[in-house]
Structure 1
Amino acid sequence: MPELPEVETVRRTLEALVLNKKIKKVSVFWPKMVKMPDEVEQFKDALVGQTVVEIGRRGKFLVIYTSEYALVSHLRMEGRYGLFQHDQPVEPHTHVIFEFTDGTELRYKDVRKFGTMHLFAKGEEFSVLPLSQLGPEPFSNEFTIEQLTKKLKSTKRSIKTALLDQKIVVGLGNIYVDEALFRARIHPERMADSLTKKETERLYKEIVDTLSEAVEKGGSTIRSYVNSQGQIGMFQLELFVYGRKGEECKVCATPLEKIVVGGRGTVFCPKCQKRK
């Protein structure tokens, strides 16, 4: 599933591709993808005549702003956007097409059909699900060491499971939780409320630094992720632990191990991340 760095990269490339384009027609070939409004025809009719004025992001969600609406889009596992000319063949698994007046089309492709789209009147998107219960953005002033400490001290879950909770901090998924925990030298099975002040400070720094570096590299292409211009990310070349089970730790050369924490596969270094 695309995490914050990947979604932010998609946001930036979409912004370069579709800003100020006017929607002429909307086609939906998989109606279940549209969660709001209830009627797909309302979704299509509302967007016709609208101009794309901004591409936003909240956690792992894209927010495509038009003149009057906010389209909240979750890519889930395999979702991707691409800009095409109207006469280009439509690829398999393309489920939504936004046709613009200039002859180009923004197409949404999703092999697994897990992606979702919610359309709200602009200004209402943050007051209801799926955005209303999200925690702070890791690059915002709301995400502080004090806030993270309070959240971790109030839960009896493992630190790996806690960091995957989007109510604590948004944008982290399996890749970047594993990476941040390794860089902070914290075992993924440690109880979140057991972290010391220094450990929490270190974890806070590594969450922000890891995500920042991943954004700079265009995200991580592990399976099928590409940005809206069809380019892969490059941060996978920098990964310390994720996807490297059995390989040598880049710091101490100890073989990396994989366990399951909270139902999620988790790779760590048993020497660098000792369980206290």
Structure 2
Amino acid sequence: MPELPEVEGVVRQIRPVAIGKKIADVFVSDTIRLSKTGGKEAILKKIEADSFIEKVKGAQIVSVERRSKYIYFTLRKEEEYLLVNHLGMSGAWFYVGSLLAIPEEKFRRHVHIVLTLSDGNVLAYSDIRRFGEMRVLADESDYPPLLLMAPEPFAEGALQHFLDMSESPKYRNKPIKEVIMDGQVISGAGNIYATEALFRMKIHPKRAAQRISRKRRTELFGEVVEILLESIEAGGSTISDYRNINGESGGMQNRFAMYGKKQCMSCGSATKTLKIGGRTSVYCPTCQK
């Protein structure tokens, strides 16, 4: 699943090609339409396909921002509103002259939303597994979970928020890996970067938050921030389906020290796995205590 660095990379690339342009036309795939007919909500949430087209077509793209793992498109017709996108497991945006220019066939086959811009190019949203989401909102309060997200990890107050939350009754007895991955505690850090940060700190992923000193938790938060920034610089991580808007893979996966490893790069021990928060956690039983 794309995490903060991957979403940040997409946003940084969309901004210069989209801001200020109008959405001249909108396409919604038959797959989405059929899901609505069947009582499901593939990608488009709480809005019908034709209503989505009516809302978005003709709007100007005012800004493109990232909030945690979400992309916020601010659109304007008579007034401003939000198109909020979560990439899910396999969502990807492409900026191309035509859908045939999307580099890989697997993405071309799963294009579900196409925004034709006033310059004639298109922003195409492909989602192989269809776990991504798009919502049209007057503001964040229209979808309350957005209001519960932790501060951005780079923002003033994010460290204190993490410390306070990790000491609260809700989180203090939970495994530290699960605490890091909770978007109400730290925004944007999922399985990949939690795994790497815990390995750097030599902390066992199942250790309860309250069994880690405040000093060590402060250092751990610093490692999370550092690895997120490092990944942004490296263009994010491509494990399977992450691509930027030009169809390029990220490079951070080449720097992993623990995620997906069979052997510890520090001591040579065989790594182990366990389930934490519904995700597979890889760790070194020798280095991480």
TM-score (norm 1): 0.92
Cα offsets for 1:85-133 (capped at 9, x unmatched):
2474782111111112221111111111111101123xx1256334121
Count how many residue pairs are aligned between Structure 1 and Structure 2: 268
Q: Identify which of 232, 256, 276 aligns with 1:261.
A: 276
**In 2, Cα distance between equivalents of 1:147 and 1:88:** 46
Q: Counterpart in 1 of 2:224?
A: 207
Change over 3 Å in CA distance of 1:153–1:114 after alignment to 2? same
Alpha-carbon separation, structure 1, partners of 2:135 and 2:216: 39
Bigger helix share: 2
Structure 1 residue 165 displacement after superposition: 1.1
The residue number in structure 1 matching 2:85 is 73
**1:84 partnered with 2:109:** no
* Aligned partner letter, 1:70: L
1:152 to 166, 187, 194: 166
Segments of structure 2 that go 5 or more residues without pairing to the other structure are 34-40, 103-107
User: Residue in 2 aligned with 1:63?
Assistant: 72
Compared CA separation, residues 195 and 87, structure 1 to 2 (3 A):
closer
8 Å Cα contact 2:199-2:283 kept in structure 1? yes
Secondary structure class of the residue paired with 1:132: helix
5+ unaligned residues in a row in structure 1: which ranges? none
Match of 2:24 in 1: 24
List per-residue Cα deviations over 1:257-276 (Å, max 9, x = no partner).
222223321111122212xx
Seen in structure 2, the aligned counterparts of structure 1 residues 25 and 180 have a Cα distance that, compared at 3 Å, is same
Instruction: Report the equivalent of 1:241.
Output: 258
Structure 2 letter corresponding to 1:204: F
SS at match of 2:231: helix
Distance across 1 between alignment mates of 2:65 and 2:141: 12
Q: Which amino acid aligns with 1:115?
A: G
Report the CA distance shift for 1:126/1:57 in structure 2 as closer, same or farther (over 3 A). Answer: farther
For normalisation by structure 2, the TM-score amounts to 0.88
Q: Which residue of 2 aligns with 1:6?
A: 6
Residue 219 (structure 1) shift: 0.6
Correspondent of 2:44 among 34, 52, 66: 34
2:181 — aligned with what? 164
Q: For residues 163-242 of structure 1, what are the structure 2 equivalents within 5 Å?
A: 163-242=180-259
User: Once the 2 structures are TM-superposed, how far is the Cα of residue 177 of structure 1 from its aligned partner?
Assistant: 0.7
- Tell whether the 8 Å contact from 2:150 to 2:183 is kept in structure 1 after alignment: yes
Q: Distance in 1 between matches of 2:281 and 2:117?
A: 43
- Separation in 2 of the partners of 1:236 and 1:87? 28
* Larger deviation, residues 209-218 vs 154-163: 154-163
User: C-alpha separation between the residues in 2 aligned to 1:266 and 1:119?
Assistant: 35
Question: How far apart in 1 are the matches of 2:131 and 2:91?
Answer: 8
Could you tell which deviates more after superposition, 4-13 or 81-90? 81-90
